[in-house]
Chains A and B, each alone.
Chain A
Amino acid sequence: MPANGQRALEAQSALATVPRVPGASKPDPILVASSIVRRFGGLSAVDVDHVEVQRGSITALIGPNGAGKTTFFNLLTGFDAPDEGAWSFNGRSMGRLSPYRVARLGMVRTFQLTKALNRLRVIDNMLLGAKGQRGERLWASLFPFLWRGQEVKNTERADVLLKRFSLDAKRGDFAGSLSGGQRKLLEMARALMSEPELIMLDEPMAGVNPALTQSLLQHIKMIREEGSTVLFVEHDMDMVHDISDWVIVMAQGKIIAEGPPGDVMKNSEVIDAYLGSRHEKALTESGESLTTGEIK
């Protein structure tokens, strides 16, 4: 199934002329990162020279287990601090920004291990996502007339999103009573409540049954059609092929390939990274062999 819709075509045509090399510059990047290094002891979990993410696209960040994808996500969103490097979002430098500020600027992430807020109801999970709530200030919270109107508007928006993600029947249930797949949906819907410009999904399809995966993929495409940019981590190549406009491949903390999904899948370095080359030939300049490189 090709990624369809107006925005999909725009993104793909914008990316058509981009060279298929690691660190390629994009015509209209929303996120630009340079020389990001994160070391854990002697191990460089992330060592990215340069990467750009095209605005309005669905970009997949793939790589074998332990490639440093989630660590890279944590660095970009402020949940972890890099040893070196700088990056910008919408032209604004983002180094050393606390994670909540990153989110307020419109770069919102989800987590690999779903963080549904179990003892909050589904609708409260959703409302938590809304930005700029007056009632979240301590003093204002004591005077409901100050925030009631805003709360009603947010609730309407949350209900629309819940319906779209087929969670409307669960509206009043505790989030902890949802199935694993529903929690993934809830987390994604909750992130959308904050109307992010860039939504970063960490393994959105992990642990989700095939039927639900299809609907998840549709939701991700829908996010692009509404004008947001999607960057997601995944290690299942087939999923990536279906929805992404551009694929960035990481292995051993470095970006080893970039390009449209069709091209990347044929790249011999990528295949080696996933399957290991028969001769265990060195993948990186430093000569580390792939079979020893598990980072997680």
Chain B
Amino acid sequence: MDFSFVIGQSITQALGVTAIIYCLAAMGLNLQFGYTGLLNFGQVAFAAIGAYSIGVIVISFGASLWAAIPIGLLASVALALVLGIPTLRLRADYLAIVTIATSEIIRLMVRSIALRETFGGANGINGKMGQAFHDLNPFHADIELPFLTWTRQDLWVVTVGWSLIAIFTLATWLLVRSPWGRVVKGIREDENAVVSLGKNAYVYKMQALVLGGLLGTVGGIVWAVAKQSVQPDNFVPDVTFFSYTILLLGGAARVFGPIVGAIIFWFLLVFVGEFLNQMIAAGWITFLLPTDVGPIRFILVGLGLMGLMIFRPQGIFGDKRELALDAR
């Protein structure tokens, strides 16, 4: 059994493209749910909008990636407005219901046979949609450190991805410690109290929804550029729920929560999966087939997360005193 391979894979994945995508989605949820108290259960819709904007505009329409990115971001703002205008005046649950439904509508729409010409149906869109980005790659060789192996392409994506996360984290930090952040946190605690002090809560909630959605969309754009392929079944509601898991794991309403959460989540998931695979390959486990590993790693990681919620419900960065207040 190759234990260093297990560790190496885990570290590579924990810092890799997928972790970056989920980290961005969770950062969006942190702004929406962690700070403003908005229950967006359709974050995957924002990611899908980003990824499909790239795929459709670059591959189906043959336009430039650099045109596709701003269009994707604009589409994301439009989606947030469409979701927010009817629901943000209502109670929090309405947003949750509408967003989860919308995320499925979008997935089923891009998957539909009727629109196969544009969105590619169940096969999605495949092609060199991120080429313009990869042409800028300053790295000349793959990276092969003892515990870290990336291709030249992945290394470039990962470098840009973590840089974006650093910039967005700084922006989040500036936002939430400003008077603007104070207002949205007030809305999370009690919207009417904030309104009674003369703040237009509706506008603040809309701003948080748009900003959080944009972060999810950037995640989707990274997805399309890195994987050069977008498929409808990548954008299932699980993506949203994993993003929430990451957020709660790191600690909601903590600036570094999503980063730490994403790294730990993907490390654990890959570690458990690879570890089981190695054990099966080595013949140490005989009651499992390699095909069982996929589901079982989720069961084991889920158990671990339940333990975390029981013994450290505030997440890794959270403040237990703050959580206790919520129960009052």
Using CB atoms and an 8 Å cutoff, list the residues of chain A in contact with chain B: 77, 79, 98-101, 103-104, 108-111, 115-120, 124-125, 127-129, 131, 133-138, 140-142, 144, 147, 151, 174, 176-177, 187, 190-191, 193-194
Contact = CB atoms under 8 A, between A and B. Distances in A.
Given A128-B197, A136-B180, A141-B179, 11 more contacts: A100-B195, A100-B201, A128-B194, A128-B199, A138-B180, A138-B207, A141-B175, A147-B179, A176-B325, A176-B326, A187-B193
Contacts of B185: 117, 119-120, 124
Contacts of B178: 135, 141-142, 144, 147
Interface in B174-198: 174-175, 178-183, 185-186, 188-190, 192-198
Given A117-B185, A120-B186, A120-B189, A100 B179 contact: no
B123 interface: no
Interface string B240-253: 00000000000000
B200 interface: yes
* Interface majority SS (helix, strand, loop, mixed), chain A: helix
Nearest to A177: B325
Interface in B134-184: 171, 174-175, 178-183
B328 interface: yes
Interface string B208-227: 00000000000000000000
Nearest to A134: B179
A17 B279 CA distance: 94
A72 to B, nearest CB: 16
Given A120-B185, A128-B186, A174-B322, A115 B192 contact: yes
Contacts of A174: 321-322, 325
Contacts of B198: 100-101, 103-104, 108, 131, 194
Nearest to B180: A141
B190 A117 contact: yes
Contact of B326 (A119, A129, A136): A119
B197 A190 contact: yes
Given A119-B185, A124-B182, A142 B174 contact: yes
Interface string B33-63: 0000000000000000000000000000000
Nearest to B325: A176
Nearest to B190: A115
B163 to A, nearest CB: 18
Given A98-B200, A136-B179, A117 B325 contact: no
Contacts of B194: 117, 128
Contacts of B174: 141-142, 144
Interface string B308-328: 000000000000011001101
A79 to B, nearest CB: 7
A151 B179 contact: yes
Given A117-B186, A120-B185, A135-B180, A103 B171 contact: no
Among B179, B180, B188, max chain A CB count under 10 A is at B179
Nearest to B171: A142
Contacts of B192: 79, 99, 111, 115
A176 B328 contact: yes
Given A109-B196, A128-B197, A119 B322 contact: yes
Contacts of A176: 325-326, 328
B89 to A, nearest CB: 10
A58 B192 CA distance: 25
A135 B179 contact: yes
A174 B188 CA distance: 14
B282 to A, nearest CB: 49
A136 B199 contact: yes
Given A136-B180, A141-B175, A111 B196 contact: yes
Contacts of B171: 142
B234 to A, nearest CB: 31
B190 to A, nearest CB: 5
19 contacts: A77-B196, A99-B192, A100-B195, A100-B196, A100-B198, A100-B199, A117-B189, A117-B194, A119-B185, A120-B189, A124-B182, A127-B179, A128-B183, A128-B194, A135-B178, A142-B171, A174-B322, A176-B325, A176-B328
A265 B199 CA distance: 39
A103 B196 contact: yes
Nearest to B193: A115
A61 B24 CA distance: 52
B196 A118 contact: no
A110 B186 contact: no
